[in-house]
Amino acid sequence: MTQDTHTGGKYRVKELIQYLMENMQLDFQGEITLDKVRHFLREDDSRESRKLLGRLIEDKGVDDMLITLADCLKEEIRTGVSEEVVGEQLRMYSDS
């Protein structure tokens, strides 16, 4: 095997990895509805909770939030998705 073939092979593997990372999808299992969100937030009277719930009511459900959250968290897959990252993304969604 020549060096060019070996380097070319490594390049193709890196290219495949990059393609897979760019096209990875994040999904949420289980059913989440506006009523379920209300249930989770029922005892949370914080500004953040009220703002998120208001935005979900304005959007007439959770679909837009889930799509936005999945798209934004996709960028975090490389560095790690944590509770803090998810919370920050929800705050950004509420503010938009």
Distance CA 94, CA 64 (A): 11
Q: Are 55 and 93 in contact (CB under 8 A)?
A: yes
Q: How many domains does the chain have?
A: 1
The answer to whether residue 7 sits within a structural domain is no
Confidence (pTM): 0.69
Residue type, position 43, single letter? E
Range of the domain at 65: 25-95
In this structure, what token pair is assigned to residue 69?
Answer: 């959250």
Greatest mean pLDDT range, 23-32, 69-78, 87-96:
87-96
pLDDT of residue 51: 95
The answer to whether residue 13 sits within a structural domain is no
pLDDT of residue 62: 95
Residues 6+ away with beta carbon under 8 Å from 89: 68, 69, 72, 73
Q: What pLDDT digit, counting tens, does each position of 36-57 carry?
A: 999 999 999 999 999 999 999 9
Distance CA 70, CA 73 (A): 5
